[in-house]
Amino acid sequence: MSTISYKDAGVDIDAGNSFVENIKPLVKSTMIPGVMGGIGSFAGAFELPSGYKEPVILAGTDGVGTKLKLAIDSGKFDTVGIDLVAMCSNDLICNFGEPLFFLDYYATAKLKVEEATAVVAGIAEGCIRSQCALIGGETAEMPGMYKEGDFDLAGFCVGIAEKSEMDRVSRVEEGDVLIALPSSGVHSNGFSLVRKLLLEKLGMKFEDDFHGRTLIDTLLEPTRIYVQDFKDCKENINALAHITGGGIVENLPRVLPDNLRAVVQKDKVRVLPIFQEMAKHVEETEMYRAFNMGVGMIFVANDSQVDAILEKTDGYVIGEIVAGEKGCDLV
């Protein structure tokens, strides 16, 4: 009886080792004070920063969703890693935490070293933009679990916050102002609807021109990371909401007390062209529930702090907080 190897079963250990060598300089580029050791150990280690009276460790995990399908079908792998980090780090700051380190999980049918390296390069870039370190990860080659050519991503971000600063809901007051920070594009939510509408129903192609860019470049524009905006305005804001799946109407109420309501003026929202195009075929209420509509993050701040925030960011006012049952009105 002839022998069989792991490679015969579909797992190439040598490819995995080559991949690790490729990403070592990428991982190194994300190093910040606090990182202990380097890639290759059984676990990543990070020394907690000093200066906190009651430090609280925060953790978040997320993926990129079916945006990955567009990356796979188009052969463009250099941006989805940024999305992966963004979805986690943008959530952390909403609890007034600052990202410390990140780990990724990359699972595929067959490891393609160049593709995987491009993905991790994006993850490293996302970590740099989030001012955190990529201290580890896992690459899983699982033939039979995934179709040939497919892969999936998951990310895990750990941050730190001062315990006394974490409760933002109690700080929101009637009369507070809503400041929108623009999104860079569709970000990483709603892509099942994007693909169904633009590619299937309307028959658009990746290479089609869309406002001076190809459609695929527009759709794969990576999620904006708001970590620096948060750090710049930390002392000026009462709360902040990351606008992801569920849109403004479902995410903004997450930072409100039961007796206050958000009122957003739709005519002040700077809707991006990609959403304007889709809105020709999708009901407005559905658009505002599925997409960010051009608003990636919302700061809630006292009126006295608005000018300071506008000076430090590219934000703009879209509404206010009023008395009423917890929720959000688009008027």
pLDDT at 159: 98
Tokens of 20: 């690790």
What pLDDT is stored for residue 9 in this prediction? 67
Q: Maximum Cα–Cα distance for the chain, whole Å?
A: 80
CA count, 13 A, side-chain hemisphere, 122: 28
Q: What is the pLDDT along the chain (331 residues), one digit of tens a residue?
A: 678 777 766 777 778 788 888 889 998 999 999 999 777 778 889 999 999 999 999 999 999 999 999 999 999 999 999 999 999 999 999 999 999 999 999 999 999 999 999 999 999 999 999 999 999 999 999 988 988 889 999 999 999 999 999 999 999 999 999 999 999 999 999 999 999 999 999 999 999 999 999 999 999 999 999 999 999 999 999 999 999 999 999 999 999 999 999 999 999 999 999 999 999 999 999 999 999 999 999 999 999 999 999 999 999 999 999 999 999 999 9
Which domains are present in the chain? Answer: 13-165 (3.30.1330.10), 169-330 (3.90.650.10)
Residue-level pLDDT at 1: 63
Q: Report pTM.
A: 0.95
Q: What confidence score (pLDDT) does residue 51 get?
A: 94
The residue to which tokens 């990483």 are assigned: 188
| Measured distance CA(92)–CA(132) in Å, rounded | 12
The identity of residue 162, as a single letter, is: E
- CA-to-CA distance for 102 and 129, rounded, in angstroms? 12
pLDDT number for residue 151: 94
Q: How many CA atoms lie within 13 A of 104 on its CB side?
A: 32
